[in-house]
Chains A and B, each alone.
Chain A
């Protein structure tokens, strides 16, 4: 069965610190990979996605993620976080065959201190 693991449940950083959030998935076939973000009081929205091609993908607000197929990982990074990045971040996997359902990780709550 598919599963997604996010290793960090809570992260606290100071502004300008670098961020890396881990995501590993379990699935034997081809997948599409996503990071979604939920800012306080807002709905979930797409941060970035990987379908194929360059394994380093760039998203909104300076975020990027690298797909490492051999490690089944899709870690999210940002070189310098801002207070406005305080949010909950969800990694998600979608199989490219079958039911196409999304599997979400449990989320990482990021708090950035001003």
Chain B
């Protein structure tokens, strides 16, 4: 069975640009959440979506947005990139909104120059 897949795996952007990261959950999972992991830190919660609705938002600026599609895949968008947005962005899926266990993808490593 395919796990959580994320694309792209690596990308380089410059300040002020926009980026879109994509995530496909495990088949049958209806919840997708996004995390930012900066080097030396644990993953920081950005968003959770369940059944295409936003169920939670972390302490990130409005430059960060996300959505979930009818097939439960998800996109994370970041506008007006800053150097500090350089990080590993992790997507995780779970079968329900609060069923606990998260299944993580490999992540998308974003470098902002």
Binding site for B on A (CB under 8 A): 4, 32, 34, 36, 43-46, 49, 51, 90, 92, 94, 96, 98-107
Contact = CB atoms under 8 A, between A and B. Distances in A.
Given A99-B48, A99-B55, A43 B43 contact: no
B56 A99 contact: yes
A101 B41 contact: no
A34, A44, A49, A94: which has the most chain B beta carbons within 10 Å? A44
Contacts, number: 61
Describe A's contact surface by its main secondary structure: strand
Given A45-B103, A94-B98, 17 more contacts: A4-B42, A32-B100, A34-B100, A43-B105, A43-B106, A46-B102, A49-B100, A90-B42, A98-B56, A99-B55, A99-B56, A99-B57, A100-B98, A104-B43, A106-B41, A106-B42, A107-B41
Interface of B: 3-4, 33, 35, 40-45, 48, 55-58, 90, 92, 97-98, 100-107
A101 B45 contact: yes
Nearest to B43: A104
Contacts of B43: 44, 90, 102, 104
Nearest to B41: A106
Contacts of A44: 43, 90, 92, 102, 104
Contacts of A107: 41-42
Nearest to A105: B42
